Amino acid sequence: MKRHTVKELQNMLADQSISSEEIHQIYLNRIKSMNDSINAFISIESDEISLSSEQKNSEIKGIPYALKDIFCSEGDKTTCGSKMLANFVSPYDATVVRNLREKGTVILGKTNMDEFAMGSSNETSFYGNVLNPWDEERTPGGSSGGSAAAVAAGMAPIALGTDTGGSIRQPAALTGITGLKPTYGRCSRFGMIAFASSLDQAGILSISAEDAAIFLEHMAGYDQKDSTSSIEEVPKYTEFLNNDLTGKVVGLPREFFDGSLDSKYQTLVTESIHEYEKMGVQFKDISLPNIKYSVPTYYVVAPAECSSNLARYDGVRFGHRSSEGTDLDSFYKQTRKEGFGPEVKRRIITGTYVLSAGYYDAYYLKAQKVRQLINQDFLNAFEEVDVIMGPTTQQSAFKLGDKLDDPVSMYMNDIYTISSNLSGVPAISHPIGFVDNLPFGLQVIAPHFMEHDLLNIVHQYQMSTDWHLQTPNLCREFD
Amino acid sequence: MSWETVIGLEIHVQLNTNSKIFSGASTSYGSEQNTNTSLVDLGYPGVLPVLNKDAVMMAIKFGLAIDAEISRRSIFARKNYFYPDLPKGYQISQYELPIVQGGSLEIKLNDGTKKVIGITRAHLEEDAGKSIHDKFNNETAIDLNRAGTPLLEIVSEPDIRSAEEASSYMQQIHQLVRYLKISDGNMQEGSFRCDANVSVRPSGQAEFGTRAEVKNINSFRFVENAINYEVERQIERLENGNEIIQETRLYDPDKDETRPMRSKEEANDYRYFPDPDLLPLEIDQETIDKIKNLLPELFEEKVIRYTEDLKIKPNDAEEIAKNMQIAEYFEATLDHFDNDPQLVTNWILSEVIGVLNRENIEINAFQIEPTQLASLLSRIEDNTISSKIAKNLFNQLLTSDETVDQMIKQQGLEQITDEGSINEYVAEVLNEFSDQKDQYLAGKEQVLGFLVGQVMKRTQGKANPKMVNELIINQIKK
């Protein structure tokens, strides 16, 4: 079986040309034959599936998916890519997992990720790096690199990821798939292991925007267990997928087109803009003047929240526990020294510093103010335009190890993606072509709760192009 | 040199919600260790806090009762520190924007003078769990049942000037939270405890002296003792030319002294920041008005009503109203017997409270229902029984399930009010004690009591004493 979209699987199930058990088995076989090299999965849930009658007879019943190992799923090992949680079996389901489970979907396995979602190359994972299915010397991006690689290689038709600063969109761009980060609050964060609470959002990595629309409908919605989840009604996204783009106004922020993008990528972006123009879209130059502060703002806010969120990993109640400690302090220190990797430690230290007395105003408080300005930039822009477009990343997949010793260069990976997390607006990345046989992505950003608009725009593009259907060579043997 | 004491109290009141402030786990006291704990209380990966609305309502109630401002918008922050009984590694507490700001409470001192104590703020927060150091050899056990229990921390202005004022303030806050029914105020179980910030300064000096914070005081007596000890210690140090170190101290009731906590237990840098898992708490005027309308009658209002409407002696009215549960018992009794509120008061203050003190129980554990007390007093009032027999029955009621009327009937205790039959007894007595009769006629009126006593004895106390009195005089003078 070649790579299939969720839509295709739905059709095959509907005309009974295949059963959900068969689909499940095919994907498991594929994971088993490919995972040793790609390392996309930390654990594989190979139990026989039994779709109980309690599960609603939904349109996604029987569809398998890959779950980033940051989501708690009942009875499953949930590691968050860390040694700290290597032995942690979650006693409960995250709300998004529960939502999908009730609709009859099936978890194929838990995907590899940067430790606690901190990283842009999947190299900070305790379980080893993930390889990019397009080039096994390269990173699939991160932190949802395992989910991205699984979908790109056809080990799963669709996957869940989380996006705190670009962790869905960047790996989607680097592996040639579609990645949606919904509006902050659109999907419940309950059961999603927290990195930076005010930025984290669950989303989808899929082959097509249409698949993302199908899944988002069932994942999203208000959850009383998450006070920050939105009561905004969840539209039926699939019903918005056939709207004509004529008259849509798209903003091109000059800050994303400042000449810093290498011309080989710029060419692809320009071509995709032409494609959209053919569909009747109008383009307009806009400015997001404070966007240049996104990366420094993010690297104050996110570490601050993470330093507090990760305090619970102390070896007392669950997770890694050092046997070295001789008193309370050394017990804590040893446990956390052994359990966390260097990038997590770097961020905890940074976050602890920016929150400490005497520095709080200069860093955290100021960053929160800049964050307001960045949000205001988006609100102003959306007065004039329907959506904003630009490159998802500054380059295609880089070689493993390339940026590992240079955290700032690694952090710059998220230069185009971070601002939508700071503002909370939804954004999607979709493939627009190849440079040297490596995929490259375009990002589309919409106002809060306008996912249906994003999904329709990308769906229209994907109806007239086939970049999203290109498969890496290693998939060929399964064709 | 003379010294002035300056005290501010931080009182921690455990709110009596059914579930915890950020989880659905029960708050009941005394459950098996670590059973009142949800994944939220255990700080599991991925879980999130959800604010308990009841705790918010209770905080608003308190704020309204002390004439404070209720913040229309308040913020929950994280107070970060590591300790094994703090599962998340931070405590959720209101920091910069508390729910209640700027109230006051008038306290009454032993000499009758009154004083207003400012209340800076009251904020909501979660309690930590308990570390148990003495059960296992060289090991510390953690019980997280208390973790996440809602607390209202009430912070006073440094307006308190003596240990007596501090104790009086603490007692009045205690009375208030029980009146508002927002806390059981149980000090043994730690539902009501305080930290005292104590400093001294030369009389007349405007600036405050350096303060010491005495932590975790859980009785009115201890707060007085701890402050007195601390004031003496500080004055002695200053008079010997030493400085006061700003520090956290613990009061040890066994040794009646305060001593510094280990430095590791002291405040470091808590790195407060707004909790991104909780939205700002918004409270609208409608909610505030609704709660205002539901506020119960408070102590002062009760005392006024008791003295003015019910004509109860002022001191008695205060005694009854001091404890809301007693006041409720009193009012429940009045519901069934309202002819003589002062009689009800007298019986509660002497007989009922006598039993409570003797048996060391609270009024809610008192054996006699208000309806039974009311019927007992009705029977006195309508002359069915004498006070003496009533007291006897009162004691029987403590251990009996029978009603007052059943007892009167079964024991044949109805008072004799029939003039004819009393006259027969009187005649008998006067016949037997003619000497005393003569003494009375000679002007020695004190013997009347003896004669009455003789009649009562013959009637086993059942004759109406007032009638006996009158009829004896009548017969003697005949």
Q: Which two tokens stand for residue A69?
A: 């190992």
The verdict on residue B84 lying in a domain is yes
Q: What is the pLDDT of residue A140?
A: 97
CB contact under 8 A, A317 and B277: no
Cα→Cα distances A465→A4, A392, B367, Å: 17, 18, 85
d(CA A112, CA A147): 7
Q: Is the pLDDT of residue B278 over 90?
A: yes
What is the phi/psi pair of residue B318, to 5°? -65, -40
CB contact under 8 A, B46 and A226: no
Residue B214 and residue B100 share a domain: yes
CB contact under 8 A, A360 and B269: no
Count A/B contacts: CB-CB distance under 8 Å: 97
Q: Is the pLDDT of residue B267 over 60?
A: no
Q: What is the pLDDT of residue B442?
A: 87
Is the CB of A369 inside 8 Å of chain B's CB atoms? no
Task: List CB contacts (< 8 A) between A224 and chain B.
Answer: 50
Residue B281 and residue B314 share a domain: no
Of B113, B126, B123, nearest to B50 by C-alpha is: B126
Q: What is the pLDDT of residue B263?
A: 58
Distance from CA of B47 to the nearest CA of A (A): 6
**Active-site annotation holder among A20, A68, A144, A396:** A68
Which strand (E) or helix (H) includes residue B5? strand B3-14
Distance from CA of B122 to the nearest CA of A (A): 23
Is the CB of A197 inside 8 Å of chain B's CB atoms? yes
Q: Searching chain B, which residue's CA lies closest to the CA of residue A84?
A: B45
The verdict on residue A184 lying in a domain is yes
Q: Is the pLDDT of residue B264 over 60?
A: no
pLDDT digits (tens, 9 = 90+) for B32-64: 999 999 999 999 999 999 999 999 999 999 999
Which strand (E) or helix (H) includes residue A435? strand A427-435
Q: Is the pLDDT of residue A54 over 60?
A: no
Q: Is A419 helix (H, G, I), strand (E, B) or coil?
A: helix
pLDDT digits (tens, 9 = 90+) for A283-292: 999 999 999 9
The verdict on residue A251 lying in a domain is no
d(CA A244, CA A281): 10
Q: Searching chain A, which residue's CA lies closest to the CA of residue B80?
A: A308
Q: Is B29 helix (H, G, I), strand (E, B) or coil?
A: coil
Q: What is the pLDDT of residue A354?
A: 97
Task: List CB contacts (< 8 A) between B53 and chain A.
Answer: none
In the listed set B287, B310, B341, which residue is the last one of a domain according to the structure?
B287
Please, are residues A427 and A443 in contact by the beta-carbon 8 Å criterion?
yes
The verdict on residue A116 lying in a domain is yes
CB contact under 8 A, B276 and A198: yes
Is the CB of A227 inside 8 Å of chain B's CB atoms? yes
Q: Searching chain B, which residue's CA lies closest to the CA of residue A307?
A: B80
Q: HSE of B442 in the Cβ direction (CA atoms, 13 Å)?
A: 8
Q: What is the pLDDT of residue B408?
A: 87
CB contact under 8 A, A332 and B88: no
Q: Is the pLDDT of residue A247 over 90?
A: yes
pLDDT band with cut points at 50, 70 and 90 for residue B462:
confident
Q: What is the pLDDT of residue A51?
A: 61
- Residue in B45, B48, B271 closest to A352 by CB: B271
E-state strands within B100-191? 100-108, 114-126, 130-136, 139-143, 150-156
- The b-or-e profile of A113-130 (16+ CB within 10 A means b, else e) is bbbbbbbbbbbbbbbebb
- Best B93, B130, B277, B279 member to test A by mutation, with max A CBs in 10 Å, is B277
- The b-or-e profile of A219-243 (16+ CB within 10 A means b, else e) is bbbebebbbbbbeeebbebbebbee
Distance from CA of A104 to the nearest CA of B (A): 23
What is the phi/psi pair of residue B30, to 5°? 85, 10
The verdict on residue B403 lying in a domain is no
A117: left (phi over 0), alpha (psi -120 to 50) or beta: left
Residue B435 and residue B334 share a domain: no
- Alpha-carbon dihedral angle through residues B273, B278, B281, B287, given to the nearest 10 degrees: -160
The interface predicted TM-score (ipTM) is: 0.96
Please give the tally of structural domains in chain B. 3
The verdict on residue B65 lying in a domain is yes
Please, are residues B476 and B459 in contact by the beta-carbon 8 Å criterion?
no
Handedness of CA B456, B459, B464, B469 (dihedral sign): negative
The verdict on residue A340 lying in a domain is no
Q: Which two tokens stand for residue A361?
A: 């105003």
pLDDT digits (tens, 9 = 90+) for B91-148: 999 999 999 999 999 999 989 899 999 999 999 999 999 999 888 888 889 999 999 9
Q: What is the pLDDT of residue A476?
A: 72
Please, are residues A401 and A123 in contact by the beta-carbon 8 Å criterion?
yes
- Residue in A190, A196, A198 closest to B47 by CB: A190
Residue B314 and residue B189 share a domain: no
Task: Name the residue with tokens 């790996």.
Answer: A171
Task: List CB contacts (< 8 A) between B50 and chain A.
Answer: 224-227
- Residue in B44, B269, B278 closest to A357 by CB: B269
The verdict on residue B400 lying in a domain is no
The verdict on residue B411 lying in a domain is no
Biggest alpha carbon–alpha carbon distance for chain A: 69
Task: List CB contacts (< 8 A) between A90 and chain B.
Answer: 45-46
Residue B181 and residue B260 share a domain: yes
- Residue in B39, B272, B277 closest to A227 by CB: B277
Task: Name the residue with tokens 């008061």.
Answer: B345
pLDDT digits (tens, 9 = 90+) for A370-401: 999 999 999 999 999 999 999 999 999 999 99
**Active-site annotation holder among A90, A167, A294, A423:** A167
d(CA A260, CA A291): 15
Is the CB of A398 inside 8 Å of chain B's CB atoms? no
Burial of residue A21, with CB atoms counted within 10 A of its CB: 0-12 exposed, 13-18 middle, 19 or more buried: middle
Please, are residues A296 and A304 in contact by the beta-carbon 8 Å criterion?
no
CB contact under 8 A, A226 and B48: yes
Q: What is the Cα B247 distance to its own chain's centre?
A: 31
d(CA B250, CA B262): 10
Residue B302 and residue B279 share a domain: no
pLDDT digits (tens, 9 = 90+) for A81-122: 999 999 999 999 999 999 999 999 999 999 999 999 999 999
Q: Searching chain A, which residue's CA lies closest to the CA of residue B281?
A: A227
CB contact under 8 A, B46 and A94: yes
pLDDT digits (tens, 9 = 90+) for A406-436: 888 888 878 999 999 999 999 999 999 999 9
Q: Which two tokens stand for residue B266?
A: 């002291």
**What pairs with residue A159 in β-bridges?**
A66, A205
Q: Searching chain A, which residue's CA lies closest to the CA of residue B264?
A: A329
Q: What is the pLDDT of residue B421?
A: 87
Q: Give the CATH number, domain containing residue B447.
A: 1.10.10.410
Handedness of CA A360, A362, A368, A369 (dihedral sign): positive
Mean pLDDT of A38-59: 78
CB contact under 8 A, B46 and A190: yes
Distance from CA of B281 to the nearest CA of A (A): 11
CB contact under 8 A, A85 and B45: yes
Q: What is the pLDDT of residue B385?
A: 85
Q: Is the pLDDT of residue A345 over 60?
A: yes
Distance from CA of A145 to the nearest CA of B (A): 20
Q: What is the pLDDT of residue B464?
A: 85
Distance from CA of A251 to the nearest CA of B (A): 31
pLDDT band with cut points at 50, 70 and 90 for residue B460:
confident
Q: In this structure, how many other beta carbons lie within 10 angstroms of the beta carbon of residue A348?
A: 22
The verdict on residue B407 lying in a domain is no
Task: List CB contacts (< 8 A) between A91 and chain B.
Answer: 39, 44
Mean pLDDT of A350-360: 95
Of A167, A163, A146, A158, nearest to A107 by C-alpha is: A158
Distance from CA of A457 to the nearest CA of B (A): 32
Please, are residues A393 and A441 in contact by the beta-carbon 8 Å criterion?
yes
Q: What is the pLDDT of residue A478?
A: 65
Q: In this structure, how many other beta carbons lie within 10 angstroms of the beta carbon of residue A399?
A: 12
Q: What is the DSSP string of B197-229?
A: EEEEEETT--S----EEEEEE-SHHHHHHHHHH
Whether A143 sits among the annotated catalytic residues: the reply is: yes
% of chain A residues with pLDDT over 90: 91
Q: Which two tokens stand for residue B462?
A: 């059942």
Q: What is the pLDDT of residue B133?
A: 87
In sequence order, the 6+-apart residues with CB closer than 8 A to the CB of B71 are: B97, B98, B99, B100, B101, B283
Whether A68 sits among the annotated catalytic residues: the reply is: yes
d(CA B199, CA B5): 6
Please, are residues B346 and B307 in contact by the beta-carbon 8 Å criterion?
no
Of A351, A355, A203, A378, nearest to A290 by C-alpha is: A378
Strand order from edge to edge, sheet including A158-162 = A41-44, A106-111, A64-68, A158-162, A202-206, A178-181, A427-435, A438-445, A387-391, A249-253, A282-286
Q: Is the pLDDT of residue B392 over 70?
A: yes
pLDDT digits (tens, 9 = 90+) for B147-160: 999 999 999 999 99
Q: What is the pLDDT of residue B372?
A: 94
Q: Is the pLDDT of residue A1 over 60?
A: no
pLDDT digits (tens, 9 = 90+) for A443-461: 999 999 999 999 999 999 9
Is the CB of A72 inside 8 Å of chain B's CB atoms? yes
In sequence order, the 6+-apart residues with CB closer than 8 A to the CB of B210 are: B199, B243, B244, B245, B246
Distance from CA of B145 to the nearest CA of A (A): 14
CB contact under 8 A, B87 and A312: yes
Q: Is A192 helix (H, G, I), strand (E, B) or coil?
A: strand
pLDDT digits (tens, 9 = 90+) for A167-182: 999 999 999 999 999 9
Task: Name the residue with tokens 């927060």.
Answer: B125
Please give the tally of structural domains in chain A. 1
Residue B309 and residue B161 share a domain: no
Task: List CB contacts (< 8 A) between A328 and chain B.
Answer: 84
Residue B70 and residue B206 share a domain: yes
Mean pLDDT of all residues belonging to chain B:
93
Whether A167 sits among the annotated catalytic residues: the reply is: yes
Distance from CA of A326 to the nearest CA of B (A): 12
Mean pLDDT of B266-273: 82
Residue B110 and residue B61 share a domain: yes
Q: What is the pLDDT of residue B99?
A: 98
Please, are residues A191 and A71 in contact by the beta-carbon 8 Å criterion?
yes
**Active-site annotation holder among A143, A229, A230, A307:** A143
Q: Searching chain B, which residue's CA lies closest to the CA of residue A312?
A: B88
Weakest-pLDDT range from A259-263, B156-160, B405-409: B405-409
Residue B381 and residue B273 share a domain: no
Is the CB of A468 inside 8 Å of chain B's CB atoms? no
Is the CB of A249 inside 8 Å of chain B's CB atoms? no
The verdict on residue B253 lying in a domain is yes
Which strand (E) or helix (H) includes residue A434? strand A427-435
A261: left (phi over 0), alpha (psi -120 to 50) or beta: beta
Q: Is the pLDDT of residue B265 over 70?
A: no
pLDDT digits (tens, 9 = 90+) for B300-347: 999 999 999 999 999 999 999 998 899 999 999 999 999 999 999 999
Residue B327 and residue B234 share a domain: no
The verdict on residue A167 lying in a domain is yes
Burial of residue A371, with CB atoms counted within 10 A of its CB: 0-12 exposed, 13-18 middle, 19 or more buried: buried
Q: Give the CATH number, domain containing residue A62.
A: 3.90.1300.10
Please, are residues B332 and B377 in contact by the beta-carbon 8 Å criterion?
no
Residue B187 and residue B149 share a domain: yes
- Residue in B45, B90, B277 closest to A311 by CB: B90
Q: In this structure, how many other beta carbons lie within 10 angstroms of the beta carbon of residue B395?
A: 12
Give me the domain span that covers residue A65.
6-245+428-478
- Best A88, A193, A225 member to test B by mutation, with max B CBs in 10 Å, is A225
d(CA B90, CA A421): 25
Give me the domain span that covers residue B437.
419-477
Please, are residues B169 and B106 in contact by the beta-carbon 8 Å criterion?
no
The verdict on residue B408 lying in a domain is no
pLDDT band with cut points at 50, 70 and 90 for residue A352:
very high
